[in-house]
Structure 1
Amino acid sequence: MKKPYLAELLKRYLHDDCTEGEAWTVEQWYEARDMPRPTPPTPAEANAAKARMWRQVQAQVQPKPALWHSPALRWAAAAIVVLGVGLSVLVALQRPAVGTKAALSSAAVVRFGAANGWITCTNPTTKATKVALADGSTVTLQPNSRLHYPKRFDGPDRRVTLSGEAFFEVAHDARHPFRVLTNKLETTVLGTSFTVRAFPGQAEAAVMVRTGRVRVAPSPAPLADAQRATPAAIVLLPNQQVVYSAAAPELRRELVAQPAQLAPQLLTFNERPVAEVLASLQAAYGVPILYDGAALANCTVSLAFGRESLFDKLDLLCRTLGASYEREDEKIVFRSRGCHSE
């Protein structure tokens, strides 16, 4: 260890201006000598300390075999060996093993290709990937799906093509509708969030709406099928979906599998009319709930709903009243024999 380097190292250490590795070197020396850490010295004390440390360090680094048997030096050497082994293992773990380069390069990754002002994103992986569009919209592209979209939206509408499944969060632009084209359906929105599922080779395609309003129509038929009747477009509301089958061309409006609560709302009732409970659930989820008001006129309940799904909440209400419900297209029909006042 050269004297100028040691002097500079001690100066930086005493002024708390050295790296972690340099501090570790100085502190190991202190530990080996069983000396306390120094407090910032005066200039005169600093100069004296530098000279004293230099003499002590020089004495330890002289090639005297007897000194190697000192317990302090043996512990310091062991620490250095352990540190070196640890660094070697870390480097070895981070370095790819021989023969893995080809395997890593052939692993499935999301691919982007560009041509003629359009971009194609292909997701052959097992995880969804997020794609940002030029208008501020975002698309969550599911595995085994492909999205074709322009670098810039310049026309009267914002048009993308999907093969597979994706969730769209569309930036609002009333003058430029957003259109998603698949081999079976064409979906048009102004600004909303929804999912489109249309995998090649599958008989059915579906559109599921989370927020806003979405217009869905069958994709234009090929010339060979031009004589077939085409279902009229329909407008979907939150928690609704449409399922389309080319085999029997029709658009079926349904509830989504698990309706989402559209706005936070306290759903706690203490001896409240059942009609009020049903109205609150309808408002919270945007799902029409039909019931016989006369039959429920005398029915009250005390319930506190939490994070259950809409259908779990209805199950609890039905168990309380001895009632039942069923789904009919985009609606829920609630049935009860009523309650008799005592």
Structure 2
Amino acid sequence: MKSAEEFNRLLKKYLEGDTSEEENRFLEEWHRNEAELPFPPMSPTEKRETERKMWRQIRFGAVGERSLLFFKWSGWGAAAACLLVTVWWFWPDRLPVEESRAVAGTEHFEIRNTTGSDQEVRLADSTVVLLKPNSRITYDHRFNREKREIFLTGEAFFQVRRDETKPFVVHAGSLITEVLGTSFFIRNHPKQTTTEVSVASGKVSVYTETPGSKEKLNGMILTANQLIRYNRDTQHLAAGIVEQPVPRLSEDAPLPSLDFKSVPLGNVLDALTKHYGIEFFIADPRIRDCGINADLTGLPMFTQLELLCKSIDATYEQRGTVVFISGDGC
């Protein structure tokens, strides 16, 4: 049997994600048989120190797989009463009665947001998940060892830590989203027939699989400001543009000015493409050289398009991820 000092050291390694497979099995076996394998006796000082370390891990960012595992130690008060099966999630600067809940099992972990506001979850690979109310994520207890794979029900925004050796995969029903490192939003509610993935930055591969099979049916590559909707009833994928496209910030190349003085429409649309990463197609070449006098700085993209079209008596139409501009000339 391990001494209290050895057990304390092992728990610290677990919270930091440094335990081996053998040590993980020991901790799981200890919990399953805690009646027969009682926790080693600890001095009051050792108990206070270990408890302090655990709470510090929870309250200040160690929100991954390791920090969700709590142990029942008699005589430990509120912290020790947290069981391996169900624990309450605590956030910095407040200790609510009802908060996001983390459920840990021997094979997987489940995190539920039972609050009325968004909750931030930091996974073991430093990926940040902004979990919406009434949503949950589930992942294997071996997350980030050989692969990064989670299952989502509800809505969540993901800021994925880049790791080219382990793609980050999110299952949302039959729709699968795979990335190396980027940010994106997924909406997947069981009572709704449509699952939606929208991209904030980087590239995202989205595809479907046959239930019970690894065969990919169809898929698309999405970039910033693009989205995809999947209808579970018809199994149809449809790409589009997010409702409020945002400029693509880059340290390498600053974005061009959107204050135009007698600039041809074609050049204006080229500037908008650099801003949003969206393709604009001029259906009638007669309007390509129409001069534009407008300051579009700070306006939403679709408002910018409306102003451009009104100034040259044209119209625009969104077809998938492309915007078509039509007109008779200026």
TM range (shorter): 0.5 to 0.7
Rounded to whole Å, the distance in 2 between the matches of 1:298 and 1:233 is: 37
Contact 2:194 2:232 in 1 (8 A): yes
Contact 1:298 1:338 in 2 (8 A): no
Rounded to whole Å, the distance in 2 between the matches of 1:136 and 1:121 is: 16
What residue number does 2:8 align with?
none
TM-superposed deviation, 1:236: 1.0
What residue number does 2:204 align with?
214
Alignment partner for residue 251 of structure 1, among 216, 237, 249?
237
Contact 1:112 1:119 in 2 (8 A): yes
What residue number does 2:282 align with?
291
Alignment partner for residue 238 of structure 1, among 203, 224, 232?
224
Q: Which amino acid aligns with 1:234?
A: M
Alignment partner for residue 267 of structure 2, among 276, 301, 305?
276
In the superposition, the TM-score normalised over structure 1's length comes to: 0.63
What residue number does 1:81 align with?
none
Rounded to whole Å, the distance in 1 between the matches of 2:157 and 2:140 is: 18
Q: Which amino acid aligns with 1:131?
A: V
Q: How does 1:83-122 map to 2 (within 5 A)?
A: 108-116=98-106, 118-122=108-112
CA RMSD, Structure 1 to Structure 2 (Å)? 2.3
Rounded to whole Å, the distance in 2 between the matches of 1:151 and 1:211 is: 28
Percent identity between matched residues is 31
Q: How does 1:322-333 map to 2 (within 5 A)?
A: 322-333=313-324
Alignment partner for residue 185 of structure 2, among 195, 200, 203?
195
Q: Which amino acid aligns with 1:164?
A: G
Contact 1:181 1:219 in 2 (8 A): no
Gaps of 5+ in 2: 1-94, 250-254
Rounded to whole Å, the distance in 1 between the matches of 2:273 and 2:315 is: 16
Alignment partner for residue 318 of structure 1, among 286, 306, 309?
309
Cα shift readout 1:64-89 (whole Å, capped 9, x = no counterpart)? xxxxxxxxxxxxxxxxxxxxxxxxxx
Cα shift readout 1:295-314 (whole Å, capped 9, x = no counterpart)? 12441111111211100001
Rounded to whole Å, the distance in 1 between the matches of 2:323 and 2:246 is: 15
1:222/1:175 CA distance change after superposition, 3 Å: closer
Contact 1:147 1:160 in 2 (8 A): yes
Q: Counterpart of 1:232 in 2: which secondary structure?
A: strand
User: If you compute each CA radius of gyration, which structure gives the higher value, 1 or 2?
Assistant: 1
Rounded to whole Å, the distance in 1 between the matches of 2:161 and 2:261 is: 41
Q: Counterpart of 2:286 in 1: which secondary structure?
A: coil
TM-superposed deviation, 1:148: 1.3
TM-superposed deviation, 1:108: 4.2
Q: How does 1:1-342 map to 2 (within 5 A)?
A: 108-116=98-106, 118-150=108-140, 153-222=143-212, 231-263=217-249, 264-292=255-283, 294-339=285-330
TM-superposed deviation, 1:282: 1.3
Contact 1:172 1:191 in 2 (8 A): yes
Higher helix share: 1
Q: Which amino acid aligns with 2:308?
A: L
